[in-house]
A and B are shown apart, each in its own frame.
Chain A
Amino acid sequence: MTDQPAATHERRILGTELLWAFGVGVLVAAVLGMIVFTALTIDINPPSNVERIDPKTLHLSGEFAEQNLGTTVGADGRVTVRAIATQFMFVPHCIAVPQERLVTLRFTTPDVIHGLLITGTNVNTMVVPGFVAQVYTTFTRTGDLLMPCHEYCGLGHSDMWATVQVMPDSDFKPDRDGRVSCAQR
């Protein structure tokens, strides 16, 4: 490295850096390409419905009033779960869902920020006051899953969780109003 003029030498170093930077660019492009590909082909997107609701009045009437909470099967056979996250519980505390059917889950909160995941699934969302959080998924295995609050919501946060009961489709029988509750055990 001593005999070359400094400028040539500097240019060679820069050349190796640019070559490496090109590799970095390819890597970044590949990662982004996979994200775009899975988003467009198999709809892997985060939950982002941007739907507003007033946390101060949502319990009085409308979609999240007490009588509408829980699992409902619509006339078209679509399964929708509505639940409230509140200090320090989910209402209802047990959610019945069928195996191998598309389920839409809708959550909101009357008080502070919460969040939830369902163990062993890709269900994961924040529940922010002022908004309805919506996710959908297909549960593949029957049995009980945990649905804990995963965002700090106050001193009782650790005791806030619900159960998701995944039933075989044959046991998933809506009543006359199209509602399904957890099996008693």
Chain B
Amino acid sequence: MRNAERLCLAHFWVAFAAFLAAAFLGVWQMWVRSPLGADIGTPGQYFASVTAHGVSMAYVLTTLFIMGFGYFVAVTALNRPLPGKPWAWAAFWMAVIGVVMALVPIVLGQASVLYTFYPPLTASPWFYLGLVLVVAGSWIWCVLMLVAMRGWKRENPGQPVPLAMFGTVANALLWLWTTAGVAAELLFQVIPASLGLVQTVDAGLARTLFSWTLHAIVYFWLIPAYIAFYTIVPGAAGGRLYSDTMGRLTFILFLLYSLPVGMHHLLMDPEHGNGWKFIQVLLTAFVAAPTLLTIFTITASLEIAGRLRGGRGVFGWIAALPWERPAVLATGLAFVMLGFGGFGGLINMAYGMNALVHNTSWVTAHFHLIFGGSAVIMYFAIAYEIWPRLTGREHASLATLRLQLWLWFIGMMVMTLPWHWLGLQGQWRRVANFNYADPIIAGWGPLVIVSLAGGLVLLASALLFVRNLTVLHNSPLPAVQRPLYSLAVDPPRRVPAALNGFGLWNALVLALMLLAYGYPIAQFIITPSPTAMVHRTY
């Protein structure tokens, strides 16, 4: 895969550079919010930092990593050259220019609106135009993934698309659907306001359009982890994938049920009625299904590996697993974090119970565990697994890789468990500092310091991760040739067309979106809400 390697590495390094910078910012933010850092930094610096942290972690790390991984899968799983490589490079440079365009106004303090925007607040137009460029680049990636799968299908009529590519294309389609909401918000509402073309904005409509994107985007970030669970981890553990069909079904369920559910982020909002909120809560409950199915299938796959390695008894196979391999260790740690984060998520989506936790540290804890924990630890595992294939060099020692994964897990747990507790006490989100002289807030101090300690461990892990990859680039050991993708217990010979493509499922997504978002968006056109004056912050 000559040249494709350079393409993948370019994406990954931009992603991980943004990740490392954002890790520093995250720790700084926790410090100034803690009793130890009172009186340090101004609100202007703090909210610029929060905006940079969110943009870097949620938009740059994820999008660039997923694009790079997608190109890698398209070449290795389909075993054919990447179609449209010049387009891929063009998309890469669009994304890089977009990132710079967005970061400059953030650093200058002209875009302190956080990565979730909040119109009628508006930032410098460069900020939004930069993000639009990143998204436009990722749309080119989506098209290239579809073209690659179509080309392979033409050359292999009737054959099942390899599962890793099936999941990647599901994610590309999911991303096209997902970004439609935020694109509409930016292009029709926020950017005209930012440019001064309009003086008022419908805040309720803007929140509704953003909610369209806000939940599905998290599944876009998670799917690479699931691709690794299904197609890399069983083989890395020395076993086989229990069921290829369940993998296909999982990716399809994610495509269907991560979109028409975003309004559970608006449960405490006054612009939607209870009926519509309930419909989306109902659909949200269904999205637990693909994750629970995955837990079963992957656990069964690991059990096969453990028993092949001589594990006996009900739990003996767990001890027999090759935990010294980073991909296996990361999966175990990811499952623990997924358990805690998933449980918290059930409370977030629970309609009335959401009132206890909405906009408290509980929510911050939830998405740091699910995304920063489960998904990102699998990004690490994927990087460790495919880096030798990209560089032709082998890790000299797996010990520092394992240490890095453990540090990430420990740091994430130490940081987020106190946040959950503080959220239940009512600690609210998005403030630059707390008044620890207040008797209610004073009691939170010790736990805030514990979470800061967790943040420091995470920063150490982030640094070690980048060091591990840099060291590999200079490793003297040539890469060991071994298959990357796992075999299924029953490798699929023929699969129904519905499990080998997405035509039917796209039609169903459209139907579900019309059901869930049709009226909630149309209401703003049928009965326009009074608009709010635009507040320019630059």
Contacts and interface: CB of A to CB of B under 8 A. Distances in A.
Contacts of A132: 270
Interface residues of B, number: 73
A27 B431 CA distance: 37
18 contacts: A17-B293, A20-B296, A27-B288, A28-B285, A31-B346, A52-B530, A55-B532, A111-B533, A112-B118, A112-B121, A128-B207, A130-B204, A130-B530, A146-B438, A148-B428, A152-B113, A157-B47, A158-B434
A175 interface: no
B274 A46 contact: yes
A91 interface: no
A40 to B, nearest CB: 11
Given A32-B281, A46-B274, A157-B430, 4 more contacts: A35-B278, A120-B426, A146-B441, A156-B43
Contacts of A54: 530
Contacts of A87: 535
A6 B490 contact: yes
A111 B270 contact: no
A131 B271 contact: yes
Interface of A: 1, 6, 9-10, 13-14, 16-17, 20-21, 24-25, 27-28, 31-32, 35, 38-39, 44-56, 87, 111-113, 115, 117-120, 122-134, 145-146, 148-158
Given A20-B296, A155-B43, A48 B433 contact: no
Interface stretch (B90-98, B126-134, B356-364): B356-364
Contacts of A157: 43, 47, 430-432
Contacts of B281: 32, 35
A155 B274 contact: no
Interface of B: 43-44, 47, 112-114, 118, 120-121, 200, 202-204, 207, 242-243, 245-246, 266-274, 277-278, 281-282, 285-286, 288-289, 292-293, 296-297, 300, 346, 350-356, 358-360, 425-426, 428-434, 438, 440-441, 489-490, 527, 529-533, 535, 537
Nearest to A10: B490
B356 A122 contact: yes
Contacts of B43: 155-158
Contacts of A25: 289
Contacts of B113: 152
B438 A47 contact: no
Given A45-B274, A125-B270, A128-B204, A154 B293 contact: no
B118 A113 contact: yes
A46 B490 contact: no
Contacts, number: 207
A130 B118 CA distance: 14
A150 B429 contact: yes
Nearest to B441: A146
Contact of A32 (B285, B353, B489): B285
Given A50-B271, A112-B532, A115-B268, A151 B112 contact: no
Contacts of B426: 117-120, 146
Contacts of A56: 200, 530-533
Nearest to A163: B438
Contact of A35 (B47, B296, B350, B537): B350
Contacts of B246: 17
Given A46-B277, A122-B355, A31 B285 contact: yes
Contacts of B120: 111-113, 129
Contacts of B350: 31, 35
Contacts of B356: 122, 124
A97 to B, nearest CB: 17
Nearest to A158: B431
B271 to A, nearest CB: 5
B335 to A, nearest CB: 16
A158 B359 contact: no
A95 B220 CA distance: 44
A148 B426 CA distance: 10
B243 A48 contact: no
Contacts of B245: 14, 17
A82 B434 CA distance: 26
Contacts of A152: 47, 113-114, 118, 121, 430
A16 B296 CA distance: 10
Contact of B112 (A45, A120, A149, A155): A155
Given A28-B289, A35-B350, A50-B271, A130 B531 contact: yes
B292 A153 contact: no
Contacts of A111: 120, 532-533, 535
Contacts of B202: 130
A146 B67 CA distance: 45
A151 B44 CA distance: 16
Nearest to B425: A119
A22 to B, nearest CB: 11
